[in-house]
Each structure stands twice: as C-alpha cells, then as structure tokens.
Amino acid sequence: MLGMLTRRVAASVVTALLASVVVFLLVRAVPGDVVQQMLGQTSDPAAEQALRLFFGMDRPVHTQYFEWLGGAVRGDLGTAWVSGRDVLDLVGGALFVTLELTFLTLILATVVGVPLGLVAGIREGKVIDSVVQSFSVIGLSTPIFWFGLLLLIGVSAVLGWSPPLSYESPVQGLGANLQVMVLPVLSLALLQAAAYAQFVRQAVISAVGEQYVVTARAKGMPERVVLFKHILRNILVQLITFGGLLLIQILGGAVVIESIFGLPGLGRLLLTSISARDYPVVQGGLLVVVLMSLLVNLVIDVLYRVIDPRLKVG
Amino acid sequence: MLTDPSRAATERDDGPNLLEVQDLRTYFATDERVLRAVDGVSLSVAAGEIMAIVGESGSGKTVTGMSIMRLLNPRTARFEGGSVQLRTRQGKVVDLLSLPEKEMRRIRGSEVSMIFQDPLTSLNPVFSIGDQIIEGILQHSEVSKADARLQAADLLSQVGLGEGKRLLMQYPHQLSGGMRQRVMIAIALSSNPQVLIADEPTTALDVTVQAQIVELLKRLARERGMGVIFVTHDLALVAKMADKVCVMYAGEVVEQGVAMEVFLRPQHPYTVALVGCIPHGPSEDRLTPIPGHAPDPLKGLVGCRFAERCQHALPKCVQGPIQLRAIEDRRAVRCVRVEELS
Amino acid sequence: MSTTTSTMTRQLRRLSRQPGTVVGLVISFIMLLIVAAPGLFTTVDPNEFDIMAVLSPPSREHWFGTDDVGRDIYSRVIYGTRVTLGIVLGSILLSALLGGILGLISGFYGKAVDMVCGRAVDVVLSFPPFILGVMITGILGPSTRNLVLALAIIYFPTFFRIARSGAMTEETKVYVEAVRSMGYPRTRILTRHVARNVFPSLAAQFMVVFPLALQIQAALSFLGLGIQPPTPDWGNILESGKNFLLGAPWMSFFPGLAILLAALATILLGRAAQRAADNQ
C-alpha cells in the first residue's frame, strides 16, 4: 500500500507542476498587464518600465517560472503586485473562509441528501421515492446563483432580515459568523444535497438487487438492519468517493456564492486578482486550489482501500 | 394436516412431515399480464429426508423455494390460494403463507433456512465470516456475543471447516468457493432449523467439491433430523443423494416419486427426455437435447404444457387440465398417456 | 395498419405513466421552437429601450416586466434562448468531437498520443470545473469564443475517457481480430466499426453533460465572464438584475427560471433515454 501511495503522490505532484506551468503561461499569454492597469492609459513609459523591472517582468518566462517555483516549494508565493501584501497570507486568509463555506456545505448536503437517498432507494416506486426524485431533479436544475439571490430577497422580504455585510471568523464571533454563513451555505447545499440524494438512491437500488441482501433477509434480519447495516456498509465506499467529488464541485460553486454574498473567500480573491492581472496572486491562488483538489482525490483513494476489505493487500 | 395426492405416493414410514406444501400458486403481475411461475405445486419433506426439486430454468423450482421462505417482492408476487404448512420445533403447525411478516421473520433463518447458488455474491463482501454467522445467531437467540462466537467456531467445524477460530476473522473473498458454501451452510444451520432449502448449492462449484457439499448435506440431514429441499437442474445428482424427487416443468409438477426409481424408470415424457440428456460414460455422443423451448410463461396454456415439445403429444393432451395422478405406489405423473406409453 | 396504431397507443400509455418524460418533451419542444423562430413568441425588439417604462413590473404589455433601461425582459429571454442554448450546444459538440476523436486514437493506438492526452486530461481535471472556466474566460478575456473554448476544455476529459475506454474494450473483441485478419487497415477498423460502437455512450454522456454545462455557462455570464451585453443571454440578463433585486426582482427571476426549465428538460429526457436503453 505504501508503494502505491508514493506512486500516487508522485503522479499528483507532476500534475500539479504541469498545472502551474499552464497557469503561468496562460496569464502571460494575453497582452496588457498589471502595470498598464495600475498606471492607466496615459502613463509615462519610463515609469512603466521601472515597475516592470521591479516585478521582474523583463526576464525570460522560464526564469520567472523557476524563480516562482523555487519560492513556492519553500512556502513563499511572492507578494501581490497590486496590494504589496504577502500572497501566502492573502491566499491563506481567503482559503480559510472558502474552506469553512465548503465544509459546512458538505456537512449539510450529506446530512440532508444521504438519508433522503437511502429512503428513496429502499422504497423504490413508492410515493416517498417520487418525492425525493422530484426534489433531486429540480435541485440539480436550479442555478445556484439564482437560488442564492432568491433566498436573499425572500428572507429579507419575509423575515425582514439580511446577513451582516462583513465577514467575521468563527474565532472572532461565532454568532456573527453563523449569520454571515447561513444563506450562502443553504444556497450551495441545495444542489449538492440533490446530487447526493440521487446518487445514494441509485446505489441503494443496485445494492437491493444483490444476492447478499436476499441472504440477510433469509436469515430473518429485519429490514432496518438490512438497510443500515448491510447495504449502507457496502455502498460506503461509493458514498465517500462521491462526497469527495462533491467537495470539489462545491469549491467551484463557492466562487459564485462568495461573489453574491460578498464573502472574502478564495473564489472572490481569484476573480479580483484575475481582472486586475495580479499574476502572483492568480498563480498562488490557483496553485492552492489545484493542490487541494489533488489532495482530496488522494485521500479518497486511500480511504477507498482502507474501507473495502476486498482491496486490502495481503 | 391436509392430504395431498402425492403424499400417499411417497411418504416415508418414519416420522411426520416437517413441511407440507399444498397447491402452491405464485403469480407475478407484470403490466397487463400475469406470470404463473408456480401453478399448483404440492410436496412434502419429512425429518431427515431429502426432497429434490428438479427442472430447467424457468420451471419455477427456485420460485418455489423463495415462496416457502416468503422472500419474494410482495409488490410483484402474490399467492393465489394454497398453503405451506410447517411443523415448528414446538410441534405447532403453522401456514407460512398466511403469517404476518413479523412472525415470518422469526421463522426465517430459525425454523426454515435457505442457501443459494453463488456463495460469493450471497455473502456480504464487507463483513467478516464471523460477523455474518454471529449476526444470524444473535438474531434468533439470547446468547452473549462471546458465546455466539464459540457457537460460530463450532458450526464451522461441523461443516468440515476445522480451523474455525481463525476463519472467523477472514473475509469471503479470501476463501475458496467450496469453503464459502460450507460457511453458508453453517449460517443456515446456526439455529437448528427444521427445514433447509438449498437452491442449486453446487451449480457454481467444481465437480469434486460438489460431491463433498452433497455428502455434507446428507450427513447433516441424517444427524439432525432436518428436512432438506434440494433444488437443482441435475437429475443425475438427485438420483445419488435424494430420497424423493419432484420434477417441475413450466410451473407444474409433472412427476413425483422415489428419486432412484424416477431416475431408473422415468414415466413422464419430460423426465424421460431429461434422463436422455445425461451423458453416460464413453458414449457421450448420445447427448440428445430436448428440441424446442419452454412455453412462454405469460400465455395462458390449456392442458399439458410440455405438449409442444413432446413427441407423443395427441390432441387430447391439450384439451383440458391434466391432473397429477398416482399411477403406482409411491409415484405420481401428470400425463394422460402415461399408461399407453410405458 | 392496426399493428402500428396499437404500438402507438401502447407507447402513449407508457408515456402517460412517466410524467417526467412528458414534461421534458413539452419543455424541449417549446424551447426548440423558440430557438428556431423567436419571432413567433414575441414581436418586441429585445434591445429597444422604452424610457417611459423603466423598471416596471410584469403586466399585460410586458409579461416579464422591464429592466433598468426599459427593455422588455420577456423578449430578451426569448431571444436569449437561442444564444444560451446555442453556445452550450456548440461547446459540448466541440468537446465531444475533440474528446471522442482523441480518445478513440488514444485507446486504439496508444503510446505517445495516449501519454500526452492523458497528462492533459489530468491537468484539466485537477481544477474544479467552474474555476477552470473562470480562469480561461477571465484571463483570456470574456468573449463568446473564449466561453466556448472554456466549456469545451472543461468537458473534454469526460468524452476523452469514454471514447478511450470504449476503443480499448472494442479492440480486444473478437470481431476486430476477424476483420483485421481479412486485411482491413487499422484506421478503417477504427472509423467504421469501433467508432460506431462507442458512439452511443458518447451520446448518452452528451445528455448528462448538457445541464451541467448550461449551469456553468450561465454562472460565467452572471459573473460577466460570458456572453457580453447587449447580446441577451440568460446569464447576463440575470446579472443585470442583481442590483435591482429588492425593487425589481422580476429582472433576475425570469431568466433564472428559464435556465431551470432548460436544465430540467434535459435531465428528464436524459433519464427517459437511459430507461429506454436499459429496457432493451
């Protein structure tokens, strides 16, 4: 298992490197850069040149890349060109917010989606199944941002409440933090719960037809046990894998939600830094995103092997 | 207990019947049509006796076993009359078909057990052998987990898996096919059932392992006074190990009698053809398959269902329903021409 | 004569038992009609300003209300249908074409092509899909071309993998040996036989991907990274309404509803198609 693990990690590192190269080249593929943005149209060419030198933009691309990479492996992602702040700091702070959003969403989606899927699967064809399926299909069709906006105005119109304007971390004030997060999490979680419910339902329906379920019933086990012990344990691996996929999807969806609700997360940071052409922030931010995504996949692979006894070697 | 026509023909002299199936009819509802999977089957099993049900796929032999255990989907399968009378350990007689589900669950795995064809898929791959045996034990008795563990190890040695304790911790995929089937039998035996239904237990196994499993079942039936219903398509196997046999075709019993006698002197044309299918020794070129295929189970059929493929069929065969008649002591056949043909 | 009518009635009866499929068909049919002939549904010019009727709620004249410069929202949504659905359809087709062809080549021939494509796919998959879209359209500049490019890249891996594994399974099948022994060149085997067998899975994947791509496209437009105004597109109509949520919620409500219905229809039809395929 250790051998496989090192191989996977190595492959992930290679992928991350390739991805970083892609990002690096991509930002430099377009004309117009941060300097022009910062100084405006009517700028003095000499000033522009000086800034470019300061940012190291005069040097050949591959040199810039290796310098950046060298710094990155040491944990130094450079400084933002627009604000001058340390990129790692910036990204770290934003990452915290996004991670909070992501995990809260995943938890809510799991708590709502999985039980619905289980019930619908075991009672296939009955009313509850149709209800869950309708919920799934509508949830999957709903645009997240539309739903977020509707929630915002709906809550404001009906309850006369709107979330606080600025983000507060749970360390600073749990109450305020929850107030800020509740609507964003709800908006994101709907879609994911719908996806989870549909997946779990399908997994249960497949499992129900399996022979070991018949055996369990033949032993006289009550339906509750058949479902929660036998079937659930068998589809656990699939559930976790799917959870990982959802996690990555939520990361993507977080971008829009952060934009709507004004959360200072990684998504919003990327949006602003991309439009400002602040390369170090864009590179650093995207690198972190890619690393997280690869990490999630790696963790799932490991969990997969730990949970399914058929895959345990030796 | 009610009388059934075949009972007179095949009852052993020792002991009462543990299970009596009377005119079992299991119908499946599909969209607009009805599938009569089991259409009036009667049979019985006494203590220590092995009753075989033989037929090709689609004959209804598996559905019969599943019906007795009430393991079919209640939404699609229904019973149209008939009864399945079980003599419990306490001596009470209950009709399994009319029991509420809660009661039936107490019977399943305890008074009547079932083992299936493919032991790999029948066992849950993510739980250890021990877990799966112990689960069954704990479901039907009040013993402690530690005691259940001891019982499990003991059961494993009873089915010929000597190193019981070590095996308990292993997973199904780590065992061979034969070992897995023995585990299934151990699970089925855990609460000392009155009747064991074995649905093609050896079909997925090697020939040598087949023989071992069959021997094991015979010994267990004898030692425990347990009735065994052995479902299979292999008539030759039946002749070697069963006491009685029911030959099924298209949902009906077409011949019933003492296993070895039915094999040596088959009376119903279908049984004759089945015996003819069995390769005998060196002259294996005498394999004569039965031409045609089983009738469409959805079409309502009048008269003999084998008539289409029977070389002796006459118009009178399809004119009206044909009864299962006792033609001699210990033999019943469903054929209007049986006397003429023998 | 009588057999065709009886099969038809049987099909209709089966359909009536699947309300989802019926809903999907109805919505799709209406939307296809809108795409083909928007003029049938509205006579108003989607870009026409009417300063008198700025921000007015839904009424008999303006079914979906008007926006902040007096444009009729209903008409904009109708004309936006062609834009939005067209872009998504075009992007996925491109993705399926590229992914399918490269996947078939990789699976059938392997070696260098497979290695390069495999690495490319890994890189694409290491980004969460929406972030990849933001990256491409944001950095390269928001435009229709970049939007199509982004969507095509995002879904390239899934079509690639399906085509590749399909090609690999087909290659081991007996008929390939048979045909090759008859002297057919490998390319011919690939194009004629293997492609034909892989096509159904690609088509099925198309149905699955469509609603997902629609959501991403709409979200990108919502962020200003997609179709640029004044060309009406469901996403950017919604975006224009986001500053007027409390005063004029209809500006954002109706385009969002359109997205929902389109996605719903494709999901329902996709399921019906899968059920039909399973039943065969």
Domain count, chain C: 1
Do the Cβ atoms of C139 and A274 come within 8 Å? Answer: yes
The Cα C225–Cα B70 span in angstroms is 61
The Cα A28–Cα A51 span in angstroms is 16
Do the Cβ atoms of C131 and A252 come within 8 Å? Answer: yes
B192 SS3 class: coil
The Cα A227–Cα A231 span in angstroms is 5
pLDDT at B2: 39
pLDDT at B52: 95
Partners of residue A220 in chain B, C-beta under 8 Å:
105-110, 136, 139-140
CATH code of residue C261: 1.10.3720.10
What is the extent of the structural domain holding C95? 2-278
The Cα A77–Cα A282 span in angstroms is 10
Domains and CATH numbers, chain B: 5-111+194-280+288-341 (3.40.50.300), 122-190 (no CATH)
**Residue B38 identity (one-letter amino acid):** V
Q: How far apart are the first and last CA of chain C?
A: 24
Judge residue B14's burial from the number of C-beta atoms within 10 Å of its C-beta, 0-12 exposed, 13-18 middle, 19 or more buried. exposed
Query: Residue A15 is nearest to which of C126, C131, C222, comparing CB atoms?
Result: C126
Q: Which residues contact B91 (CB under 8 A, 6 or more apart)?
A: none
Q: Please list the ranges in chain B whose pLDDT falls under 70.
A: 1-15, 31, 164, 278-291, 293-300, 342
What angle separates helix B177-189 from helix B145-158, to the nearest 10 degrees?
A: 130
B249 SS3 class: strand
Cβ count near A67 (within 10 Å): 13
Copy the structure tokens of residue A13.
């590192």
Length in residues, chain B: 342
Statement: residue C85 has pLDDT above 90: yes
Partners of residue C20 in chain A, C-beta under 8 Å:
137
C245 vs B255: which has the higher pLDDT: B255
Place of tokens 């079932």: B114
Share of chain C above pLDDT 90, in %: 31
The greatest distance separating any two alpha carbons of chain C, rounded to the nearest whole angstrom, comes to 77
Query: Residue A149 is nearest to which of C20, C122, C252, comparing CB atoms?
Result: C252
The distance of B5 to chain A (nearest Cα, Å) reads 30
Do the Cβ atoms of C138 and A275 come within 8 Å? Answer: yes
Q: What is the pLDDT of residues A235-274, one digit of tens each?
A: 888 888 899 889 988 988 899 999 888 899 999 999 998 8
Among chain A residues, CA nearest to C134: A271
pLDDT at C217: 94
C174 vs A139: which has the higher pLDDT: A139
The Cα C272–Cα C266 span in angstroms is 10
Choose among B316, B338, B341: nearest CA to B327: B338
Q: Are A186 and A299 in contact (CB under 8 A)?
A: no
Q: Are B28 and B77 in contact (CB under 8 A)?
A: yes
Q: Is A16 on the interface with C (CB under 8 A)?
A: yes
Do the Cβ atoms of C139 and A156 come within 8 Å? Answer: no
Q: What is the pLDDT of residues A230-240, one digit of tens each?
A: 888 888 888 88
Among chain A residues, CA nearest to C259: A143
Q: Is B109 on the interface with A (CB under 8 A)?
A: yes
Tell me the CA distances in angstroms from C37 to C64, C82, C87, C256, C262, one per residue in order.
19, 9, 17, 21, 17
The Cα B183–Cα C220 span in angstroms is 58
The distance of C105 to chain A (nearest Cα, Å) reads 22
Chains that touch C (3 or more CB pairs under 8 A): A
Among chain B residues, CA nearest to A237: B126
Statement: residue A11 has pLDDT above 60: yes
Q: What is the pLDDT of residues A88-120, one digit of tens each?
A: 888 988 999 999 999 999 999 999 999 999 999
Q: Are C266 and C211 in contact (CB under 8 A)?
A: yes
Q: Is A233 on the interface with B (CB under 8 A)?
A: yes
**Residue of C21, C121, C127, C209 to mutate, interface with A, max A Cβ within 10 Å:** C127
Do the Cβ atoms of C140 and A30 come within 8 Å? Answer: yes
For A242-278, b/e burial (b = at least 16 CB within 10 A) is: bbbebbbbbbbbbbbbbbbbebbbbbbbbbebbebbb
How many Cβ pairs closer than 8 A exist between chain A and B?
Answer: 71
Q: What is the mean pLDDT of chain C?
A: 85
Do the Cβ atoms of A215 and B126 come within 8 Å? Answer: no
C219 vs A77: which has the higher pLDDT: C219
Share of chain A above pLDDT 90, in %: 30
pLDDT at B9: 41
Do the Cβ atoms of A216 and B124 come within 8 Å? Answer: yes
Mean pLDDT over C110-131 rounds to: 90
Q: Are A250 and A243 in contact (CB under 8 A)?
A: no
Among chain A residues, CA nearest to C132: A252
DSSP state of B233: S
Partners of residue A268 in chain C, C-beta under 8 Å:
none
Choose among C1, A56, B239: nearest CA to B247: B239
Q: pLDDT-based confidence at C186, cuts 50/70/90?
A: low
Strand partners, B43: B21
Edge to edge, the sheet with strand B325-328 lists: B112-115, B195-199, B227-232, B50-54, B244-249, B252-258, B331-333, B325-328
Q: Is A9 on the interface with C (CB under 8 A)?
A: no
pLDDT at A252: 87
Statement: residue C131 has pLDDT above 90: yes
Statement: residue A208 has pLDDT above 70: yes
The Cα C206–Cα B124 span in angstroms is 36
The Cα A21–Cα A66 span in angstroms is 10
Sign of the torsion angle spanned by Cα atoms C85, C87, C88, C92:
positive
Do the Cβ atoms of C140 and A29 come within 8 Å? Answer: yes
A164 SS3 class: coil
Kindly provide the ipTM of the predicted complex, given to two decimals.
Answer: 0.87
Choose among C152, C108, C239: nearest CA to A149: C239
pLDDT at C75: 87
The Cα B281–Cα B283 span in angstroms is 6
Tabulate helix, strand, coil % of chain C (nearest 5).
75, 0, 20
Judge residue B56's burial from the number of C-beta atoms within 10 Å of its C-beta, 0-12 exposed, 13-18 middle, 19 or more buried. middle
Do the Cβ atoms of A293 and C127 come within 8 Å? Answer: yes
Q: pLDDT-based confidence at C153, cuts 50/70/90?
A: very high
pLDDT at B35: 85
C171 vs B149: which has the higher pLDDT: B149
pLDDT at A43: 64
pLDDT at C257: 93
Using omega within 30 degrees of 0 as the cis cutoff, is the peptide bond preceding C230 cis? yes
Helical spans, DSSP H, in C172-240 = 174-181, 186-188, 195-222, 234-240
**Residue A16 identity (one-letter amino acid):** A
Partners of residue A255 in chain C, C-beta under 8 Å:
130-131, 134, 223
The Cα A230–Cα B203 span in angstroms is 26
Partners of residue C126 in chain A, C-beta under 8 Å:
15-16, 19, 290, 293-294
Q: Which residues contact C9 (CB under 8 A, 6 or more apart)?
A: none
Copy the structure tokens of residue C236.
């950017």
